[in-house]
Amino acid sequence: MTPTLIFDIETIPDTEGLRKLLGLPADTSDEDVARVAFHQRRQHNGSEFLPLHQHRVVAISCALREGDSFRVWTLGSPDAPEQEIVQRFYDGIEKYTPNLVSWNGSGFDLPVLHYRGLVHGIVAPRYWDMGDDDREFKWNNYISRYHTRHLDLMDLLAMFNGRANAPLDDLAQLCGFPGKLGMDGSKVWEAYTRGEINAIRDYCETDVANTYLVFLRFQLMRGVLDQAAYEREIALVRDTLAEYPGQHWQEFLHHWQQ
């Protein structure tokens, strides 16, 4: 069975890069750099959401379904530099050649990782193989929108129509799963400035778990899993998370049971 890797990233403004792009003095604080960037962006298009190349990755969480096992974790230590955690993500693809699953990965996560890979000189030959080294990758590779080596579940369910996109939180709850707990992407910068990197990592992990659970429901719908196999997969996720010590997993399972 080809391993399946579900992933999600969390980002903050790339304040170091923004100092250069905005021509701000080197001693401008990160908070002030972000305020200027948010203000200029809001004036430009009415939203504070920065262009993707101006984001910095602070967490990448993954869930790996391989063989008889399922596990969820966040890459690197809480104080690991961005370059290390981005390289670890691509190293995992190099090691496992998994099928990737995401929610809006094509629209956000992967483009951000592409830009940060360029900035840091990341090496990722397997990810970028489009058939030059492996003929199987010519028509089904990680870059292709319409194949399943990377499945952006949000994009596919919306029939590649941005007007039909649905939030992961809504779909997870409608399917009976916990959804987001206590945080969303808009609150990550505020949490980061308070030094709450562990809370960001926990939130990212629960997003990955929600994505995988919705993916299992999708696999049931498309007939890849029958009802018995689906229930076994759900039980594997629940039993695995029940063994994890984090408070966020206890809360996740509590909401799942309601």
**pLDDT tens, residue by residue, 78-133:** 999 999 999 999 999 999 999 999 999 999 999 999 999 999 999 999 999 999 98
| pLDDT given at position 208 | 98
Phi, psi of 57 (to 5 degrees): -80, 125
The two tokens of residue 155 are 């994009």
What are the tens digits of pLDDT across the range 174-208? 999 999 987 888 899 999 999 999 999 999 999 99
How crowded is residue 61: how many other Cβ atoms within 10 Å of its Cβ? Answer: 24
| pLDDT given at position 64 | 98
Q: Report the pLDDT averaged over residues 35-48.
A: 95
Q: Report the pLDDT averaged over residues 72-76.
A: 98
pTM metric for this prediction:
0.96
Q: Is 243 helix (H, G, I), strand (E, B) or coil?
A: coil
For the chain, domains (ranges, CATH) are 4-257 (3.30.420.10)
